[in-house]
Amino acid sequence: MSWSTALRAYATKKDPSTLPATVLFSHTDSTITIFDAYPKAIFHFLILPRPSQRLSVLDLSSLRSLIRKDDDLALETLKGLQSEAEKLKGEIHAEMLERYGFTWPLHCGFHAIPSMEHLHLHVISADLTSPSLKNKKHYNSFKPGHGFFLPLDDVLEWFDGSHEHLLSMSNLKKGEYEALLKQELTCHHCDRGFKTIPQLKGHLQEEWDALRQRGTRKRRKSPDDSKQTPDGQPAAKKRAFTREPGESRTDAEG
C-alpha cells in the first residue's frame, strides 16, 4: 500500500472492523475514524468520509474535489464529519479527565494542501507535544491561526455565500499555502519566536507541563471533577485509544 493512498485504502474498506486495533478507532456507514499513524499531539485522529453511490473515491479525493462535485452533497458530507468529530471530542475529553484530571482544547480542521489522497478531518489536541512532530513543516501545518490548518467551522462558513464564493474559497493554491509552512517558528500559546524546532519543542513541553500542573491543582480542589465529562456526565468506560507522550505508532499509515 502506497503511503500517499493509504487513507483511500482505509476509506474504501468494505469491513473496517477488520482493520488492526492500532489503526481503527470507530466507523459508521458513512465515516471511518482512525488514529493518526504519526500523531503530532497527545490526541490525534483522522475522520474520513466513506465513498457511496452519490460520492465516488475521486469526489472524496480532497476538499476541492468534493465541493466541485456538488454544493449540497459537500455540505452534507462535511456536516457528517462534524457530527462524528463532536462525538469523538466527547470521548477524548472523557479520556483527558480520566488520565489527567482536566481537559484542554481540541482543534478540528483540514490541511489546505494535504500530503495524502482522500479527504480527512484532523481532530488534534492543542498541546502539540509529540515525538512525531519533528520539523517546521509539521508544526506550522497544525499551528492554530497560522493559515495552513483550516478549521472545520471556517470551511462550513464558505457555504453561507454564493456558489462562486464557495468555489473561490476552495481554490486552495498550492504555492500560497505551502509558503506558510516555511515561516518562522512561533509558539501558538505565547507568540514567542524560536530559531530551531528542538528549542520550540522544549518550550511547548514546558507549556504543557505548566498546564498539567494547573490542572492537577484544580483537580485537588475538586476531586470529583475527574469522574465527570465537560457536560457533567460520567466519564466513558476506559478505552485505550491514544498513546502516552513518548510512544509512537509505526504499524499504520497516517
Grid coordinates in use for 20? Answer: 488492526
Give dist(CA 62, CA 44) in Å, integer: 20
In whole angstroms, what is the distance from residue 7 CA to residue 1 CA? 10
- Where b means 16+ CB within 10 Å and e means fewer, 228-245 reads ebeeeeebbeeeebbbee
- Among this protein's residues, is 120 annotated catalytic? yes
Within its chain, how far is the Cα of 10 from the centroid? 17
Nearest to 135 by CA among 120, 121, 109, 115: 115
Pick the catalytic residue from 27, 93, 111, 120: 120
172 vs 13: CA distance, rounded Å = 29
d(CA 157, CA 187): 27
- Bridge-based pairing of strands 149-151 and 185-186 is unpaired
**Dist CA 232 CA 213 (whole Å):** 22
Instruction: Report the length, in residues, of the chain.
Output: 254
Active site residues: 120
